[in-house]
Chain A
Amino acid sequence: MRELKILGVVLFFTLALYWGVEPFAHSQMHPHVADADFTFKDLPAQSKIGDAKQGEENFQNAGCAGCHSLKIEGIDAPMDNATASASFGVVPPDLSNAGAIYDTNFLAALIKNPTVALKVEHKFSETKPHPMTKFYGLGGDINQEIADIVAYLKSIAPTEKLDDKQVFADACARCHTLKYENIERTSEQVPLTKYMGSTPPDLSMMIRSKGEEYLMTFINNPQKQLKGTAMPRVGLTQEAQEQVINYLEKTGDRKKDERNALGYKVIGFMLIFTLLAYLWKVKIWREVH
Chain B
Amino acid sequence: MAEIKKAQGIGDWFDQRLATKKLAKVMMTEYWVPKNINFLWAMGVVLMVLFSLLMISGIFLLMYYKPDVNLAFDSVNYTIMQEVDNGWLWRNIHGVAGSCIFLVIYIHMFTGIYYGSYKKGREMIWLTGMALFGMFSAEAFSGYMLPWGQMSYWAAQVITNLFGAIPVVGDALVIWIRGDFAVADSTLTRFFMLHVLLLPLVIILLIVVHFYSLRIPHVNNQDAEEFDFDVESEKYLDGKKKESKVVPFWPVFLAKDFFVVGVFLTFFFYLVFYNYGFAMDPINFEPANSMKTPTHIYPEWYFLWSYEVLRGFFFDIAGMAAMNIGLAAFGFANIIFMLLPFLDRDPNVAPAHKRPKFKIWFWLLLVDLMVLTVYGKLPPTGMNAWVGFYAATTFILLWVALPFITKSDAKFTGGVK
Contact = CB atoms under 8 A, between A and B. Distances in A.
Task: Choose among A14, A28, A29, A277 the residue with the greatest number of B CB atoms under 10 Å from its CB.
Answer: A277
Contacts of B40: 6, 10
Interface stretch (A51-59, A103-111, A257-265): A257-265
B32 to A, nearest CB: 12
A66 to B, nearest CB: 37
Contact of B304 (A18, A21, A205, A258): A21
B177 to A, nearest CB: 28
Interface in B262-286: 262-263, 265-266, 269-270, 272-274, 277-278, 282-286
Contact of B262 (A259, A262, A274, A288): A274
Interface in A1-20: 2-3, 6-7, 10, 13-14, 16-18, 20
A281 B256 contact: yes
Interface string B272-309: 11100110001111110000000110000100100000
A210 B77 CA distance: 15
A258 B87 CA distance: 12
Contacts of A6: 38-40
A277 B261 contact: yes
Interface in A238-289: 252, 254-255, 258-260, 262-263, 266-267, 270-271, 273-275, 277-278, 280-281, 284-285, 287-289
A21 B377 contact: yes
Given A21-B278, A209-B282, A255-B81, A278 B373 contact: no
Given A22-B277, A284-B251, 19 more contacts: A6-B38, A20-B370, A29-B377, A205-B286, A208-B282, A209-B286, A211-B282, A252-B285, A255-B81, A255-B88, A259-B92, A260-B274, A266-B272, A266-B273, A267-B266, A267-B269, A274-B262, A277-B258, A281-B256
Given A260-B273, A285-B252, A289-B242, A280 B38 contact: no
Nearest to A275: B262
B255 A284 contact: yes
B247 interface: yes
B273 A180 contact: no
29 contacts: A10-B107, A20-B377, A21-B301, A28-B378, A28-B379, A29-B295, A29-B378, A202-B287, A204-B77, A205-B287, A208-B285, A255-B82, A258-B88, A259-B88, A259-B92, A267-B269, A270-B265, A273-B265, A274-B259, A274-B262, A277-B259, A277-B262, A278-B262, A280-B255, A281-B258, A281-B259, A285-B252, A288-B241, A288-B244
A263 B274 contact: yes
B39 A7 contact: yes
Contacts of A29: 295-296, 377-379
A174 to B, nearest CB: 21
A211 B277 CA distance: 11
B181 interface: no
B103 interface: yes
A274 B266 contact: yes
Contacts of A205: 77, 285-287
A17 B81 contact: no
A204 B78 contact: yes
B366 interface: yes
Nearest to A208: B285
Nearest to A207: B285
Which 5 residue pairs of A and B lie closest in terms of their CB atoms, listed nearest first?
A263-B273, A274-B262, A20-B374, A209-B285, A208-B285
Given A208-B285, A281-B258, A270 B301 contact: no
Contacts of B272: 263, 266
Contacts of A162: none
A288 B247 contact: yes
Contacts of A136: none
Interface string A16-50: 11101110110011000000000000000000000
A287 B304 contact: no
Task: Choose among A205, A273, A278 the residue with the greatest number of B CB atoms under 10 Å from its CB.
Answer: A205
Contact of A209 (B251, B278, B283): B283
B373 A17 contact: yes
Task: Choose among A14, A280, A281 the residue with the greatest number of B CB atoms under 10 Å from its CB.
Answer: A281
Contacts of A267: 266, 269-270, 273
B359 interface: no
A270 B268 CA distance: 10
B35 interface: yes
B89 interface: yes
B81 A24 contact: no
Task: Choose among A25, A202, A273 the residue with the greatest number of B CB atoms under 10 Å from its CB.
Answer: A25
Given A209-B283, A270-B262, A263 B373 contact: no
Nearest to A205: B285
Contacts of A270: 262, 265-266, 269
Interface string B154-188: 00000000000000000000000000000000000
Given A28-B378, A205-B285, A205-B286, A20 B256 contact: no
A25 B378 contact: yes
A254 to B, nearest CB: 5
A13 B261 contact: no
Nearest to B367: A13
Contact of A263 (B35, B269, B370): B269
Task: Choose among B107, B255, B301 the residue with the greatest number of A CB atoms under 10 Å from its CB.
Answer: B255
A211 B280 CA distance: 13
A21 B256 contact: no
Contacts of B256: 281, 285
A274 B241 CA distance: 26
Contact of A25 (B38, B255, B374): B374
Interface in A90-139: none
A139 to B, nearest CB: 49
Contacts of A289: 242
A96 B318 CA distance: 70
Nearest to A209: B285
A2 B38 contact: yes
B257 to A, nearest CB: 9
